[in-house]
Amino acid sequence: MENLARFYINGAWVKPGDDAREYPVINPATEASEGTLYLAGKSDTDRAIQAARDAFDGFAATPVEERLALLEKILAVYKRRLDDMADAISKEMGAPRHGLAAKVQAPTGLGHLATALEVARNFEFETNTGKTLIRHEPAGVVSMITPWNWPMNQVTCKVGPAIAAGCTMILKPSEFAPLSACVFAEIMDEAGVPAGVFNMIYGDGAEIGPMLSSDPRVDMVSLTGSTRAGSSVSREAADTFKKVSLELGGKSANILTTDCDLEKAVTHGVMSMMTNTGQSCNAPSRMLVPADKLAQAEEIAAKVCASIKVGSSAEKDTQMGPIANARQFERVQTLIQRGIDEGAKLVCGGPGKPEGLEKGYFARPTVFSEVNNQMTIAREEIFGPVLTMLPYNTLDEAVAIANDSDYGLSGYVYAADKDEAAAIARRLRTGMVHLNGAQLDLNAPFGGYKHSGVGREWGSRGLEEFTEVKSIML
C-alpha cells in the first residue's frame, strides 16, 4: 500500500510534514507489521482544514444532481474495490477475512453509500409551507473522527450523506484502522471527487482531535468513539459554537421474557455479543434472564461459546478473530479479572488466550452470571467478547435494571408475544431496540440517549445531520 505513508489533501497524495511522526500498523492476528504510516501534526492538520475550507463555497453551490452523480461514481468504484477493502479490514483489525470482513464489514460500507444515494434522491432540500420556503443547506466544513471497530461502516455513514448535502470534509480515521481508510481515499480519488472536498489525515486523536474540533474554519464535528472522546470534542467545539454529532458507547440490555424460546433467545444473544469479537458499541452485553431460568440459560450460553471457532483471520472457518489491538486486549483482560474479583460467576471463558493461540490478541469467549448492576462488568463498556447475565424477578425490575445505566444506545427484547415485546421496548431509555432478533436497518436512525451520544446517523436523519435549516419568508 504505497499511499499508506502519505495523506490525501486537496485532491492529491502528499508527503507528511516535518512534524509528523511514524507509527507502525500491526496485524492483531499475527502481531506482525503491515506497514508504517505517519501521524499528522499541526502543519498537516492545518493544510487539510484549509483545503476543505477553500473548496466549500464551490462544492456547496453544485446542483444536487451533480452531487448524486458523484456518489454514483464513488459507489461504482467501491464495488470494484470490495475485495481490497475486505483484505484491508481483516489485516488491520482482525475481522475473519472470509466471513465478517468479506460478508459484513466491507459490504456495510457499500450499503451506506447506496442508502445515502437513495435517500438524497428523495430528500426535499427545499419545501414550501405557506409563505415560507424552508431550505436544507450544507452544514459546512466537517471534521470526521472515526474508530477502528467497524471502520467502513463509520466512515461511509458520514461521508455519503455529507457529499449529498454539499459539505467538504477532513477524515481522521483511527490509527488502528488505516488500511481500509487508505483504500477508501483511493476510491474517492478515482471517482473524481473535486479537490479539497474530501481530505484524509491519520493522527492521534488526543493530539489532533482538539485541532479538528476547535478550529474556527470547521463548522461541524462528527465523531464516533468513546464517551471520553465525545466529551473532549464537545468542550473543544464549544467556543466556536460548532454543530456536534456524537455516536458514543453503549452497555445494551437484552431482556429475555419468561415465555420466550430460551434456547433460541440465549443462542442469538450470545452470538450477537461475540460477533466482531464483542467490539460493537450496540452489542447486547447485559443479558437479563428470569431468575428461575438462569441456570438453564447458563448451560445454553456455555454450549454456544464452546461452538465458536476462534482463530486466525485468514482461516475460512474462523467465526471470531482477535481483539483489534494490544491496548484493547489488555483492557478486556483487566475487566475479565475484575469480574472474577468482584464475585461474578464465571460460566465459561475467562482470562488469557484460547489454547493454541499464543500469538495474536485473541481472547476467550467469556460469560459471567449472577451479576448485579453495581458490578464493574455491568457498568462499563468492555468492548470485547464478554457477556454478563443478570437475573430478574419481574418485568418491572428488568426494565429498571436495563435503564439503570449511563448509556442508552441500544436495547434488545425476546418475547413470545410481539405486542409485549413492543410494550417493553417503549419503556427502554435507548435510541434503538431490536425485537426478537431483528437486524439493523440502514434507513433507521442510529444513535442513543444519555452518554451514548448526541444526534443521529443513517438514512434521512443522517442526511439531515449534515445540513443547516434556513427559513426564507416569502
Of these residues, 92, 175, 236, 247, which one is catalytic?
247
Distance CA(59)–CA(66), nearest Å, equals 10
The H or E element spanning position 156 is helix 151-165
Q: Is 457 a catalytic residue?
A: no
Q: What are the residues whose beta carbons fall under 8 Å from the beta carbon of 302, sequence distance 6 or more?
A: 347, 348, 367
CA atoms within 13 A on the CB side of 400: 9
- The rounded radius of gyration (Å) of the Cα atoms in the chain is 22
- What are the CA-CA distances from residue 333 to residues 38, 188, 326, 374, 386 (Å)? 29, 38, 11, 19, 10
Alpha helix locations (H) across 370-457?
376-379, 395-403, 418-427
Amino acid at 402: A
Cell of 405: 445505566
User: Measuring CA to CA, which residue among 4, 8, 26 is closest to residue 327?
Assistant: 26
Strands (E), 157-294: 168-172, 198-200, 220-224, 243-247, 253-256, 286-290
Distance CA(380)–CA(338), nearest Å, equals 11
Helices and strands per DSSP (H, E), number in the chain: 15, 22
What SS3 class is residue 412? strand
Contact 222, 245 (CB under 8 A): yes
Distance CA(165)–CA(140), nearest Å, equals 9
Distance CA(41)–CA(35), nearest Å, equals 20
CA atoms within 13 A on the CB side of 428: 29
Distance CA(237)–CA(143), nearest Å, equals 11
What SS3 class is residue 453? strand
Distance CA(152)–CA(112), nearest Å, equals 9
Alpha helix locations (H) across 308-368?
326-341
Phi, psi at residue 190, to the nearest 5°?
-65, -30
CA dihedral 459, 461, 466, 468 (to 10 degrees): 150
What are the catalytic residues? 247
